[in-house]
Amino acid sequence: MKWLQSIYQYSGQALTQAITLEDVLTRETEFPNCKVDAERMSHQADWFNISGYGQALDIGSGFGFYTQALRKMGYRTVSINPGKYENEVFRNLNGDEPLAVMFENYQSSEQFGVVMMSQVLEHLLEPDNAINKVSDLLAPGGVLACAVPNYDSFLVKLLGTKDNACLWVPEHVNYFTEKGLRALVERNGFRVVKVEQITRIPFNALSKRLRLKGRLAVIVDGLGRLLSIPFAGLMNFFGLGIYINLYAVKKL
């Protein structure tokens, strides 16, 4: 735990130095990713939330896109994130800062209607304890919205731990299949209401990997744009998607 804290006090996203909000927004413009996921997951969580509670907890809030999306949905938010590089971007995006603590050390007497855990659970040493704690924090009928890398994904099968193919070793200390993630939340008092797989690959990933330049890179990037959507759909259909998104309601 001390070793993980020594890493995450700076960044949970493998950043080795500070980054600006402008840099993050440029990334999102070039490859829409975090903002897209934040809006989709927040809408889904709100749809399934039958608790009547309008308070949301964003665990591992990162750059702040999930908190921003939840606030746009009308939720009052509490955000926690230990990484000071991300928290500075969060402040510039949202006007305030998260609580700079690890989830294991977070204490609250409040109850929440939504708990957001995007790309967090794989970083926690004791996932059963974490989900049990989430259950205690949620009001009955409240929703856990969780996203994790898919251990069964085509990238893991193809690349293993190379190129950070969803398996950051040793920062990722747990690995989840869809079946395993379902079992984890169900044994901690939740009813799974939806699971989906998400695959999103930068259209220029292949040209960069092959170090292509000029006209050839343009051609390959064009093919990447054309094929990315049907390819992603196919991977998701066969359970080989890059990420698992799960929504579970705390039992009444």
Residue 43 pLDDT more than 90?
Answer: yes
CATH assignment at residue 116: 3.40.50.150
| pLDDT tens track for 124-136 | 999 999 999 999 9
215 is a domain residue = no
| pLDDT tens track for 47-79 | 999 999 999 999 999 999 999 999 999 999 999
| Predicted local confidence at residue 192, as pLDDT | 98
Least reliable range by pLDDT among 138-142, 148-152, 167-171, 179-183: 167-171
Q: What is the mean pLDDT of residues 142-169?
A: 85
Q: What is the mean pLDDT of residues 158-183?
A: 82
Residue 162 pLDDT more than 90?
Answer: no
36 is a domain residue = yes
Q: How confident is the model at residue 21 (pLDDT cuts 50, 70, 90)?
A: very high
Q: How many domains is the chain partitioned into structurally?
A: 1
- For residue 185, count CB atoms less than 10 angstroms from its CB and return exposed for 0-12, middle for 13-18, buried for 19 or more: buried
Q: Residue 106's domain spans which residues?
A: 2-200+241-250
245 is a domain residue = yes
pLDDT, mean over the chain: 92
| pLDDT tens track for 205-219 | 778 878 888 888 888
192 is a domain residue = yes
104 is a domain residue = yes
Least reliable range by pLDDT among 12-16, 31-35, 132-136: 12-16
Tell me how crowded residue 155 is: count the other CB atoms within 10 A of its CB: 21
- Chain mean position to CA 19: 19
Q: What is the mean pLDDT of residues 16-23?
A: 93
67 is a domain residue = yes
59 is a domain residue = yes
160 is a domain residue = yes
Q: How confident is the model at residue 165 (pLDDT cuts 50, 70, 90)?
A: low
| Predicted local confidence at residue 163, as pLDDT | 65
The per-residue DSSP string of the chain comes to: -HHHHHHHTT-SS--SS---HHHHHHHHHHS--HHHHHHHHHHHHHHH--S---EEEEET-TTSHHHHHHHHTT-EEEEE---HHHHHHHHHHHSS--B-S-GGG---S--EEEEEEES-GGG-S-HHHHHHHHHHHEEEEEEEEEEEEBTTSHHHHHHTTGGG-S--TTT----B-HHHHHHHHHTTTEEEEEEEEE----TTHHHHHTT--HHHHHHHHHHHHHHHHHHHHHHHHTT--SEEEEEEEEP-
What is this structure's pTM? Answer: 0.93
